Structure 1
Amino acid sequence: MRKTLLAILCFAALGVQAQEARAQVRFGAQASVADDVDLGLGARVLFSLKQFSERLEGIASFDWFFPDSGAGVDWTYFELNGNVVYSIPLSNTSALRPYAGGGLNIARSSVEVNVPGRPSASDTEIGLNLLGGSKFGSGRITPFAELRLELGGGEQFVISGGILF
């Protein structure tokens, strides 16, 4: 009987731990507009960095952009971003949850020219991000908006918005 009770308590404790871990990771969908490569669609993962500071979060994102390339040219462009942000405290009654931070950017560009004798080219660059944004509310579905300046890598200004689940 004791072993059964101990086993039940252990499984209950594991369930609570798993629930807390799941609440610390959120997934989202986003749309982005950039000053160089137009519209992008992507996804992000937001995760807690409470082991370092109560207000730190990590954001990993992927954006596939749809740059305007002329006739006979196929231009592919995407970015991977890894950022650390600090949540800026406001009053407990505010629905705004602003943040600011920085991180790394990996930008991949590939151009194929559909003309015989013209070479194709591709390039991958790494740069730094400076960003700021806000989450709105704290429910299960949370909208967000973000401004990101890419120094190196993508070398552009990006406005993103979306929903975290």
Structure 2
Amino acid sequence: MRLIFIATMAVLMVGQAAAKDVLSGASLYADVARYESFGLHRFGSPGDRATADWIAGEMKQAGFEVSFQPVVLGRQYVVEQASAEASGTSIEATPFWWPPEDKASFHLSALLARDGDVAGKILWLELPFDRGAYLGPAHRDAIAEAAARKPAPSC
């Protein structure tokens, strides 16, 4: 009887330990697959809300109290496709400006410039990678200096 009790306890403990191994490769992959299943995660999108609800549910299950705080984003644009073309070579790009609010799509054609007089031209600006998720002071300064040089408007 004692041997059966010990064996039963061992099976339960091993089962519980396996169930709680949230850092196993299979568990992490399942989390990534679940996250991806929500679709686009852009701020305010249904996928964003589904992700927040999922994480809140996981935290509640772990015993945490969860509350949401409203956030208002003043301006946001969604780029479904953007490219830059020079000398017959086209590359995918993301515009670093606010597209016109009255246009769902637009075409901008102008000379491309890195240095010198950039007035009316598309300015190629490379920002340093600083491992941050957002624009830092050095980025903002570089963008302000670039804007002062009067590159082509957004359309």
- Give TM-score, length-normalised by structure 2: 0.27
- Larger RCO of the pair (alpha carbons < 8 Å, separation 6+): 1
- Larger of the two Rg values belongs to structure: 2
Q: Which has the higher helix share?
A: 2
